[in-house]
């Protein structure tokens, strides 16, 4: 069984430990950053994150003592998890007791009931793009495990009695490993809780939702998926870009800029993706775009192919760069775009009313159809 007894196994497998004795205030080792408050998403050490999850830290956020030295990212992660463990175990115990004491009407009732797990897609950031089902499930949750790219506005739908737990990942800092996320989902589901796993975009499009679903189903846990508007669809619509268009693009292809092991050049698919009659959408591709662009052009995609990069799409903080493929990487650097940024490459980009040469190139495309 998972339940309370599973959490200590997490700490032993990943070397969880007590907060460093050198920190006068354990929470200070997390070094939350008030400068990140302008982000529409949950940044790894923002004060909003710790205020939202403060049930895990009791009253430690009100302490003001200083850290004697800056901790490294690994010690921050370990301290964070060590601080959370007591409250996580306590919540598991409460849920288990509630489940065991549930009434039985002769048809099974609530006693011994295993909880449900929902994988919920929250779209690219705009809360108005949530589905009605997503809102209903979010409001009914006992515990919500949420990623970095679940926008702050979406989290406003969480019910007052629910508990939130941040499990987001950024380059160089994973608040929880994927295996730890699996164990948390399993532990709380076995305790009878309604657990909602919130993911930006769609949970089954570069969201590792399939891995979580497979793991839980192998453990006998029922998983329900609530789809979300994937970033490609939401952001393209925001810019007026049709991902497919008769006579212009007869297919669309989604690529990831990340390799499984975090390599810098995973885009071996460029040879097959360099199709001028297709639209390419690259998720998480900022660091690998220079290599991808060169490979695409090497395999025949015209350097003049229209392209765009969109940071924090569909949110009030959205920033957009339009350029030909050969110039896109330099334009992104000049604009200092940061993650999350979605990249769209293809002739359909010139159909956007925001494309700098929109009227000229759009008319040429129409004439060519």
Q: Which residues of 41-55 are buried (b: 16+ CB within 10 A; e: fewer)?
A: bbbbbbebbbebbbe
Q: Who contacts 368 (Cβ-Cβ below 8 Å, separation ≥6)?
A: 247
Query: Which band of pLDDT confidence, cut at 50, 70 and 90, is reported for residue 202?
Result: very high
Query: Which band of pLDDT confidence, cut at 50, 70 and 90, is reported for residue 7?
Result: low
Residues annotated catalytic, as ranges: 147, 169, 284
Q: Is 192 helix (H, G, I), strand (E, B) or coil?
A: coil
What confidence score (pLDDT) does residue 276 get? 95
Query: Which band of pLDDT confidence, cut at 50, 70 and 90, is reported for residue 339?
Result: very high
Name which residue leads in pLDDT, 72 or 309: 309
The answer to whether 58 touches 118, Cβ cutoff 8 Å, is: no
What confidence score (pLDDT) does residue 30 get? 45
Domain ranges of the chain: 3-98+112-229, 232-368
* Average pLDDT over the chain, rounded to an integer: 82
Least confident of 9-23, 172-186, 195-209, 261-275: 9-23
Q: Homologous superfamily of 3-98+112-229 in CATH?
A: Tetrapyrrole methylase, N-terminal domain (3.40.1010.10)
The answer to whether 352 touches 239, Cβ cutoff 8 Å, is: yes
Query: Which band of pLDDT confidence, cut at 50, 70 and 90, is reported for residue 85?
Result: confident
- How open is the CA angle 26-49-338, to the nearest 5 degrees? 115
What confidence score (pLDDT) does residue 10 get? 43
Q: Quick one: average pLDDT of 36-50?
A: 70
**Chain centre distance of CA 92:** 25
What confidence score (pLDDT) does residue 5 get? 47
Strand partners, 319: 311
CATH of the domain spanning 232-368: 3.30.950.10
Least confident of 71-85, 166-180, 270-284: 71-85
User: In angstroms, what is the C-alpha Rg of the chain?
Assistant: 23
Q: Quick one: average pLDDT of 324-337?
A: 98
DSSP string, 149-185: TS-HHHHTTS-TT-EEEE--EETTEESS-HHHHHHHH
What confidence score (pLDDT) does residue 9 get? 45
Q: Who contacts 369 (Cβ-Cβ below 8 Å, separation ≥6)?
A: 246, 247, 248
- Give the tokens for residue 305: 């192919």
Q: Quick one: average pLDDT of 130-144?
A: 97
The answer to whether 145 touches 117, Cβ cutoff 8 Å, is: no
CA distance 67 to 22: 8
Query: Which band of pLDDT confidence, cut at 50, 70 and 90, is reported for residue 26?
Result: very low
% of the chain exceeding 70 in pLDDT: 75
Whether 199 has a pLDDT exceeding 60, the answer reads yes
Query: Which band of pLDDT confidence, cut at 50, 70 and 90, is reported for residue 52?
Result: confident
What confidence score (pLDDT) does residue 22 get? 36
Q: Which residue has the tokens 């690219």?
A: 124
Helix, strand, coil percent values for the chain (each to nearest 5): 40, 15, 45
Q: Which residues of 327-336 are buried (b: 16+ CB within 10 A; e: fewer)?
A: bbbebbeeee
CA distance 79 to 72: 11
CA distance 237 to 231: 10
Query: Which band of pLDDT confidence, cut at 50, 70 and 90, is reported for residue 219?
Result: very high
User: Does pTM top 0.95 for this prediction?
Assistant: no
What confidence score (pLDDT) does residue 71 get? 55
Q: Quick one: average pLDDT of 64-91?
A: 68
Helix (H) or strand (E) holding 75: helix 73-100
Name which residue leads in pLDDT, 196 or 66: 196
Whether 69 has a pLDDT exceeding 60, the answer reads no
């Amino acid at each position: 069984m998972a339940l309370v007894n599973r959490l200590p196994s997490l700490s032993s497998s990943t070397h969880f430990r007590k907060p460093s004795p050198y920190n006068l205030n354990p929470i200070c080792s997390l070094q939350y950053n008030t400068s990140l408050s302008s982000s529409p998403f949950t940044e790894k050490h923002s004060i909003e994150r710790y205020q939202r999850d403060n049930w895990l830290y009791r009253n430690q956020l009100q302490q003001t003592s200083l850290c004697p030295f800056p901790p490294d990212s690994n010690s921050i992660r370990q301290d964070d998890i060590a601080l959370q463990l007591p409250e996580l175990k306590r919540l598991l115990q409460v849920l288990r007791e509630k489940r065991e004491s549930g009434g039985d009407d002769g048809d099974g009732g609530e006693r011994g009931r295993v909880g449900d797990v929902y994988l919920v897609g929250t779209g690219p950031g705009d809360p108005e793009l949530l589905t009605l089902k997503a809102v209903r499930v979010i409001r009914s949750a006992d515990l919500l495990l949420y990623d970095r790219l679940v926008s702050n506005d979406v989290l406003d739908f969480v019910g007052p009695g629910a508990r939130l737990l941040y499990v987001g990942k950024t380059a160089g800092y994973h608040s929880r490993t994927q295996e730890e996320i699996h164990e948390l989902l399993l532990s709380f589901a076995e305790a009878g809780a309604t657990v909602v796993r919130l993911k930006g975009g769609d949970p089954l499009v570069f969201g590792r939702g399939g891995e979580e679903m497979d793991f839980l189903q192998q453990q006998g846990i029922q998983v329900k998926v609530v789809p979300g508007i994937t970033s490609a669809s939401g952001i393209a619509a925001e810019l007026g870009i049709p991902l497919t268009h008769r006579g212009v693009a007869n297919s669309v292809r989604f690529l990831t800029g990340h390799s499984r092991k975090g390599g810098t050049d995973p885009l071996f698919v460029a040879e097959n993706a360099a199709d001028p009659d297709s639209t390419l959408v690259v998720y998480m591709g900022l660091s690998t775009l220079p290599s991808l662009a060169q490979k695409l052009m090497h395999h025949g995609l015209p350097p003049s192919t229209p392209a765009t990069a969109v940071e924090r799409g569909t949110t009030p903080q959205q920033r957009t760069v339009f350029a030909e493929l050969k110039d896109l990487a330099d334009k992104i650097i000049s604009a200092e775009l940061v993650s999350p940024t979605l990249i769209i490459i293809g002739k359909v980009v010139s159909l956007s009313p925001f494309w700098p040469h929109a009227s000229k190139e759009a008319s040429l495309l129409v004439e060519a159809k």
